[in-house]
A and B are shown apart, each in its own frame.
Chain A
Amino acid sequence: MYTQALNDPSSKIATVEEGEEKLNDYFMERISADEKIEPNDWMPASYRKTLIRQISQHAHSEVIGMLPEGNWITRAPTLRRKATLLAKVQDEGGHGLYLYAAAETLGISREEMQQQLLDGKARYSSIFNYPTLTWADIGSIGWLVDGAAIMNQIPLCRCSFGPYARAMVRVCKEESFHQRQGYEILLALCKGSAEQKAMAQESLDRWWWPSIMMFGPHDANSTHSDQSMAWKIKRISNDDLRQKFIDATVPQAHHLGLEIPDPDLKFNEKTGHWDFGKIDWDEFKRVLAGNGPCNRERMEARTKAHNDGDWVRKAALAHAAKQAARKSTRKAA
């Protein structure tokens, strides 16, 4: 979202003689004054690295996230639902592109990031390694997965890195329709036949815990959190976000007449929050390590799409080169 050519680290940097430490102090002063950091500003190498990792993984998640939902486009039950799902999946592709562009301002190319994904060196959100077995899953994804993503992304709109914050503002504007359309799908099922309602319940049973895990490990076990908070990349802790999400979502489930699959879930009058049961972190780690239900399938689909598109990219580049050559010979003549 900024011109990449300006980011060549070998060019300039007029302030080198000031020394790294002084630069870092000045950087932290700007952070504490809530100033935005822009791509060509000096930043600690570790801040740059952290952002590249986070933004590219966020982008990969948007792109891989298209797969489980894309699975149902041809089988959506009505034309209205099909048009909606197509628009939603297209939005997710757009989110991926805004994010790749934001990461590129830090000096990494989109090709490099994509290669990291294909080589299995970069992660994407674990949630997309779960299968979409029924139509109700499209409802659950919109309601819970997009709902959790919104919770995560709203504070990122205030993130200290300008291009990431701006991309998040755009993304958040688009996300609210995603969550609403998902909830509407479940609402229709819950008002329908007993089988339809059972389908909605069964779907919630499978998606609830993975959605809760989307907020990441508990604060005490979160490796990158402290530094990210200090840099104001992260504004709210994993556990606080998770609690906010649960508090917002439980009443919505009750409105649907669905039961959340957690026997320990109960409202705590003292704190004003919903207490919830123990999260199965072994499952989280298993999926993260590549052994979820669909990890291999997702990577195969992504790799195939990338390889199948190879000739198209090459042809487009060849066409552009030919057109440019023709134009310059015409000018010369």
Chain B
Amino acid sequence: MSDNKDMMPLWEVFVRSKNGLSHTHAGSVHATDAEMALQNARDIYTRRAEGVSIWVVPSAEITASDPSSKGEMFEPSGTKIYRHPTFYDIPEEVGHM
């Protein structure tokens, strides 16, 4: 869809809102190269001091899990409830643990 040479490629934008927090996905922009992608991302996603750092990644470079295999992909972790602290009974008199 975006293979057409006359089209500007799509980039995904990740913004760190402040130091100490990780970058999170903010949206996407079109740009011909990384530098333009950064500038466009700044103009579009940080007009109100929403960020201190921006990453841009060509959308085509992202590998995503297949939503139709969500079951096989994530079910194994769903059934392993013993990975959660609440699985274990600790007498109340022991206090917070």
Chain A partners chain B: yes
Q: Mark A residues whose CB is within 8 Å of B.
A: 1-8, 12-15, 38, 40-42, 87, 90-91, 94, 97-98, 101, 104, 107, 109-111, 166-167, 170, 174, 313, 316-317, 319-320, 323-324
Q: Does B22 contact A (CB under 8 A)?
A: no
Which residues 1-48 of B have a CB within 8 angstroms of A?
Answer: 1-2, 4-8, 10, 12, 25, 27-30, 32-33, 36, 43-44, 47-48
A94 CA / B47 CA spacing, docked (Å):
9
Which residues 74-95 of B have a CB within 8 angstroms of A?
Answer: none
Closest residue of A by beta carbon distance from B60: A5
Are the C-beta atoms of B36 and A316 separated by less than 8 Å? yes
Most buried by B among A3, A167, A170: A3
- Find A4's partner among B1, B36, B69 (CB 8 Å cutoff): B1
Q: List 14 A-B contacts (CB under 8 A).
A: A2-B12, A2-B28, A3-B62, A4-B2, A4-B10, A5-B2, A5-B60, A8-B1, A87-B47, A94-B44, A94-B47, A109-B4, A110-B7, A166-B27
Closest residue of A by beta carbon distance from B57: A3
The answer to whether residues A4 and B59 also contact, given A109-B7, A319-B32 and a CB cut-off of 8 A, is yes
Q: Chain B nearest CB: distance from A174 CB in Å?
A: 8
A4 CA / B12 CA spacing, docked (Å):
10
Across the interface, which residues of A come within 8 angstroms of B48, CB to CB?
Answer: 174
Are the C-beta atoms of B1 and A3 separated by less than 8 Å? no
A109 CA / B30 CA spacing, docked (Å):
11
Most buried by A among B1, B33, B59: B1
Closest residue of B by beta carbon distance from A102: B27
A104 CA / B8 CA spacing, docked (Å):
13
Closest residue of B by beta carbon distance from A90: B47
B interface size (C-beta, 8 A): 29
Q: Chain B nearest CB: distance from A77 CB in Å?
A: 24
A298 CA / B43 CA spacing, docked (Å):
25
Are the C-beta atoms of B6 and A38 separated by less than 8 Å? no
A180 CA / B66 CA spacing, docked (Å):
44
Across the interface, which residues of A come within 8 angstroms of B49, CB to CB?
Answer: none
Are the C-beta atoms of B47 and A3 separated by less than 8 Å? no
List the 10 closest A-B pairs by CB distance, nearest first.
Answer: A320-B32, A3-B59, A14-B68, A320-B33, A316-B32, A1-B27, A40-B67, A3-B62, A101-B28, A5-B60
The answer to whether residues A14 and B28 also contact, given A3-B60, A5-B59, A317-B8 and a CB cut-off of 8 A, is no
Q: Does B64 contact A (CB under 8 A)?
A: yes
Q: Chain B nearest CB: distance from A111 CB in Å?
A: 6
Are the C-beta atoms of B27 and A98 separated by less than 8 Å? yes
Are the C-beta atoms of A104 and B66 separated by less than 8 Å? no
Are the C-beta atoms of A97 and B7 separated by less than 8 Å? no
Across the interface, which residues of B come within 8 angstroms of A7, CB to CB?
Answer: 1
Closest residue of B by beta carbon distance from A101: B28
A324 CA / B5 CA spacing, docked (Å):
14
Are the C-beta atoms of A13 and B68 separated by less than 8 Å? yes
Q: Chain B nearest CB: distance from A48 CB in Å?
A: 14
A104 CA / B10 CA spacing, docked (Å):
10
Are the C-beta atoms of B67 and A101 separated by less than 8 Å? no
A323 CA / B33 CA spacing, docked (Å):
9
